[in-house]
Structure 1
Amino acid sequence: MDREELTAWALSNGWQILAGCPSLTKPSSPKEAIVRMVFKATVVNLEVKKPAGKWEKISGEAYGKVVPDEDGQPQGLGFERIPSFSMLMRDNRDRQVFAGFKG
């Protein structure tokens, strides 16, 4: 997957662009990113924000080694190593969907 494919996947799965990076936010603070994908020239890094406010890289992989699984989720970035990742992604996606119902 390349940068555009990863960005499209992220935006369709509850991520939003914050500070130029596809990011997931805290449920209690939807404007503060706690997980982000950082795109470099040849690699993409997955980073989490520590409580002290510093970003920590938890994984990184060359674009050519990031491949979608049968559900379309990128494999090779370590998403499977974050136990609550799918729940955080679902919360972000649900918040975006239900924000459209407010009028």
Structure 2
Amino acid sequence: MTKDDLHAWALAHGWQEAGGFLSLMKPRTFDTAIVRLVLKATVAALEIKKPNGKWEKVSGAAYSAINAGEEGDVPSGLGLDTINGLSSLMQQNKDHLVFAKMR
């Protein structure tokens, strides 16, 4: 995958731009990012916000090592599929974005 491919996939699956990063927001309030993708020139990193407010990198990979999943699946190689509850969080964020547009 390329940086643009990963960016497009994330936006289509509930991620949103927050603070210059693709982020998943905290459920119920949807105003605080708790998971983010840091897309640099040659690598992507996945970070999770710890309770103390600091970001912790949980995985990272070069774009060449990230493989696009089938439609609806998460890309492999970045560790997105190993994080418990991530798909549920992505779905909650996606639903929130859809219903926010209906208001």
Q: TM-score range by the shorter chain?
A: over 0.9
Would you identify which runs of 4 or more consecutive aligned residues in structure 1 move more than 4 Å? none
Residue 88 of structure 2 is matched in structure 1 by: 87
Identical amino acids, percent of aligned pairs: 50
- Return 5+ residue gaps in structure 1 as ranges: none
Answer yes or no: is the 8 Å Cα contact 2:24–2:90 preserved in 1.
yes
The two structures, once aligned, show a CA RMSD in angstroms of 1.0
- TM-score between both structures, scaled by the size of structure 1: 0.93
Q: How many residues align?
A: 102
- Return 5+ residue gaps in structure 2 as ranges: none
Is 1:101 aligned to residue 102 of structure 2?
Answer: yes
Secondary structure of the residue aligned to 2:102 is coil
Partner amino acid for 1:26? K
Deviates more, 1:66-75 or 1:5-14: 66-75
Matches of residues 1-103 of structure 1 in structure 2 within 5 Å? 1-71=1-71, 72-102=73-103
Secondary structure of the residue aligned to 1:70 is coil
Answer yes or no: is the 8 Å Cα contact 2:74–2:81 preserved in 1.
no
- TM-score between both structures, scaled by the size of structure 2: 0.93
Secondary structure of the residue aligned to 1:68 is coil
